[in-house]
Amino acid sequence: MDLSELTHIAQAEVEHRLDRGMAAWGVPEPMTLEEWACKNFYLSAESSYVEQAWTPWTFQRAIMACISNDDIYEVDFKKSARVGYTKIILAAMGYFAEHKRRNQTIWQPTDDDAEDFVKSELDPMLRDVAVMKSVFPSYLSRHKDNTLQNKKFIGSITRVRGGKAAKNYRRFSADVALLDELSAFDADVEKEGSPYRLAAKRVEGATFPKIICGSTPKLKGFCLIDERYNA
């Protein structure tokens, strides 16, 4: 290999690294969550009956419109089972990471639930939604930017936490807070307040704060999603 070929390879590598580094300041064409999901989202084999590209059901479109509307601060989804809520929030997490470049945290009821969510839902999504690789250079690598608790993207970070420990609501800020199966959380997290209040603190000061709560309801009068829905 002569000097000119080596120079060409080196130049191409420099341009690639510059493009990846400058991507954090890029401003993509505005796109709603539904548009992004129809273009990019994919149902992975690990968590779906049929592995395929995803098209939202009619009622899901309105929920997704609320999630991607920056003028709406809070979305509360009181739901039955098997209505695609997990897929909606999974698509939203990809959308906020790749398109909006916003820091986000999702809380699951327990640490075990959080770990299972990453293994069965989040990691397969990052593998199968091709556009995510452009903002997640640490994909498939053993790296501090790719763990069960933290996924560091270009321009943002996604955290996954269990909801029973007060320490899991401290020492970080977010633009988007997601509480999955809210009614399975403790009503008072280690005597420091409700999971909703603790999560809402994390998005205080964000330019476009967003908090998303979803759950099937439980015992009437003691149900956390009923409380948020009725509010």
Catalytic residue IDs: 181
User: Can you tell me which residue has the tokens 């709603």?
Assistant: 32
DSSP string, the chain: --HHHHHHHHHHHHHHHHHHHHGGG--PPP--HHHHHHHH-EE-GGG-SS-EE----HHHHHHHHHHT-TT--EEEEE--SSSSHHHHHHHHHHHIIIII---EEEEESSHHHHHHHIIIIIHHHHHH-GGGGGT-TTTTS-BTTBSSSEEEETTEEEEEEESS-GGGGSS---SEEEEETGGGS-SSSTTS--HHHHHHHHTTT-SS-EEEEEE---STTS-HHHHHHH-
Decide if 202 contacts 173 (C-beta within 8 A). Answer: yes
